[in-house]
């Protein structure tokens, strides 16, 4: 394996690649985009910080690339969509700089409470203006935390130590987790209207861009203090400047900006009650070392076939869960392949149903396996990373359904493909016996038992005598050996479904003979 370390990370991380994993390592700090394009041609993994851009062009040039690791949190320098298209895992290290960013946030809060920065600057000028720099106290004040992930939670813990009341807004925060952290779960409106201090700890998305703006600033308490050490753009900087000038916002602190760095002439640089730092969130010795070590271990695990953690474009599953899911993943992929080959044009929807004990498992890897199997015969270079996106790009919707029990099986995976005319095909599968052998057990409601590693003929025929013998004779004349056969009869409609497991695929001549029989309604060759 070959690793490109494009930006400087902890030497311990580089040593892990070399000594622990035995990988070839190319350290290419400060490379130009043109140099990066040449260096990536034969690498299996890339480690970056924020300097090197992993663009669509870079990803297209890196034919062997399997993983890009960001030593840090933000991945603005990585084209995740293009990486997903190429089947490349993108991962970051969200925990390595948690404490560093939380402590910087609290430093900003303290600097916005006591004007230490401004007082220091005046002292260096020879001044002694004690009255001018009267501050406030954190004790007894209400802090509003927008986003209660790892960093938001650490900020809240420190606020509690300062005897602050903490309001928390996060769409994913539960009452039990809020109680555990000692914070009050609130709505966005309650938080911005009831807080003396507001700090932002959310990602920048279409929903969070300019979350704090002219309208929200006016709804806040007069004299509120506002801080952002998360992502630039969550606060409307123009609106913040207006609020600082009017006194609606008494003080603010920013470590991140809509444009980095801000222009030299930016008003942000001259606003006296605004403390600025140059994106220092992860800039501690401990954090820099932690993220370098973390990303090295994560990349090594991926390339050695182990655990995938902190992936941004595929689910992360722990090794024990993955071992347990392995036979179900194999089965799910085969069902997906069977569903696609059974044949419906213009598929618009895939419904994956999990029955019985399967509802207790992490099913996303299984659904991804269905996607991968469905795409196997119709697209190149499909894997767990790009399969869901390729399905979506085809305009196919996916739905998961979980049901506690099934009439005939303790565990069952059932996949239905539905086309634009509402027609559907449904394939069911399960694991059988102590060996957990995967089997297809139903086709459009007809009970069968089919090996998932075989060439198959699936027939729907009128339930009349002689069909099995006829098919056997034709295949025998074609030197195709029948390994197994499963038959399901539907007496009410007068049809039967037969599945023949074969050692090889029939010739076109044999196929035409079978299809020409008056009793054969449908004929399909499936290769699993």
Which residues are identified as catalytic?
A: 231, 260, 279
DSSP state for residue 499 in the 8-state scheme: E
3-state secondary structure 37-67: HHHHHHCCEEEECCCCCECHHHHHHCCCCCE
Partners of 520 in the beta sheet? 461
Chain mean position to CA 19: 30
How far is residue 304's CA from residue 179's CA, in Å, rounded to a whole number? Answer: 40
Q: Which of 204, 206, 261, 195 is nearest to 228 (CA)?
A: 204
Q: What separation, in Å, do the N-terminal and C-terminal C-alpha atoms of the chain show?
A: 31
Alpha helices (runs of H) in 312-443, residue ranges in sequence order: 319-342, 364-375, 387-393
Chain mean position to CA 95: 16
DSSP state for residue 72 in the 8-state scheme: S
DSSP state for residue 507 in the 8-state scheme: P
Q: Which residues contact 50 (CB under 8 A, 6 or more apart)?
A: 7, 70, 72, 74, 76, 77
Are 59 and 282 in contact by the 8 Å Cβ rule? The answer is no
Q: Tokens at residue 204, please?
A: 């920048």
How far is residue 314's CA from residue 176's CA, in Å, rounded to a whole number? Answer: 28
Partners of 524 in the beta sheet? 458
Q: Tokens at residue 221, please?
A: 């308490």
Q: How many beta carbons lie within 10 A of that of residue 269, not counting itself?
A: 12
Partners of 342 in the beta sheet? none
Q: Tokens at residue 409, please?
A: 């099986």
How far is residue 325's CA from residue 315's CA, in Å, rounded to a whole number? Answer: 13
Residue 263 CB-half CA count within 13 A: 4
Beta strands in 39-171 (DSSP E): 45-48, 67-70, 89-91, 142-146, 165-169
How far is residue 129's CA from residue 424's CA, in Å, rounded to a whole number? Answer: 79
Q: How many beta carbons lie within 10 A of that of residue 380, not counting itself?
A: 7
């Amino acid at each position: 394996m070959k690793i490109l370390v494009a930006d400087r990370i902890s030497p311990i991380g580089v040593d892990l690649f070399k000594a622990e994993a035995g990988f070839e390592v190319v350290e290419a700090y400060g490379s130009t985009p043109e140099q990066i394009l040449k260096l990536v041609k034969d690498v299996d993994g890339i480690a970056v910080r924020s300097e090197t851009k992993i663009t669509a062009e870079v990803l297209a040039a890196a034919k062997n690339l399997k993983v890009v690791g960001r030593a840090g949190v933000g991945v603005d320098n990585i084209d995740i969509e293009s990486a997903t298209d190429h089947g490349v895992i993108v991962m970051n290290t969200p925990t390595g700089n948690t404490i560093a960013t939380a402590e910087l946030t609290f430093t900003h809060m303290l600097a916005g409470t006591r004007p230490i920065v401004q007082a220091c600057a005046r002292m260096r000028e020879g001044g002694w203006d004690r009255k001018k720099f009267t501050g406030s106290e954190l004790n007894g004040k209400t802090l509003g935390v927008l986003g209660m992930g790892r960093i938001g939670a650490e900020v809240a813990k420190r606020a509690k130590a300062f005897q602050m009341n903490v309001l928390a807004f996060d769409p994913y925060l539960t009452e039990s987790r809020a109680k555990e952290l000692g914070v009050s779960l609130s709505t966005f409106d309650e938080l911005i209207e009831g807080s003396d201090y507001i700090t932002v700890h959310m990602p920048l998305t279409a929903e969070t861009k300019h979350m704090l703006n002219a309208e929200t600033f006016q709804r806040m308490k007069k004299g509120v203090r506002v801080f952002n050490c998360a992502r630039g753009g969550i606060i409307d900087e123009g609106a913040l400047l207006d609020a600082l000038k009017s006194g609606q916002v008494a003080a603010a602190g920013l470590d991140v900006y809509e444009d980095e760095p801000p222009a030299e002439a930016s008003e942000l640089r001259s606003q006296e009650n605004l403390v600025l730092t140059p994106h220092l969130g992860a800039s501690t010795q401990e954090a820099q070392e932690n993220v370098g070590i973390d990303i090295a271990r994560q990349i090594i695990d991926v390339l050695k076939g182990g655990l995938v953690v902190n992936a941004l474009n595929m689910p992360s599953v722990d090794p024990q869960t993955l071992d347990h899911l392995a036979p179900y993943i194999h089965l799910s992929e085969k069902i997906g392949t069977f569903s696609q080959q059974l044949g419906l044009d213009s598929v618009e929807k895939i419904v994956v149903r999990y029955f019985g004990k399967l509802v207790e498992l992490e099913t996303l890897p299984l659904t991804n396996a269905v996607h991968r199997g469905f795409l196997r015969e119709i697209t190149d270079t499909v894997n767990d990373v790009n399969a869901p996106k390729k399905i979506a790009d085809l305009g196919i919707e996916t739905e998961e359904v979980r049901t506690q029990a099934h009439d005939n099986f303790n565990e069952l995976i059932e996949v239905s493909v539905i086309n634009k005319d509402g027609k559907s095909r449904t394939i069911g599968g399960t694991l059988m016996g102590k060996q957990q052998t995967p089997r297809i057990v139903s086709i459009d409601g007809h009970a069968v038992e089919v090996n998932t590693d075989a060439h198959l003929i699936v027939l729907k025929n009128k339930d009349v005598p002689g069909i099995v013998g006829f098919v056997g004779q034709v295949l025998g004349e074609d030197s195709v050996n029948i390994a197994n056969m499963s038959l399901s009869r539907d007496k009410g409609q007068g049809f039967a479904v037969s599945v023949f497991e074969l050692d090889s695929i029939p010739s076109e001549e044999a196929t035409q003979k079978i299809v020409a029989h008056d009793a054969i309604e449908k004929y399909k060759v499936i290769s699993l």
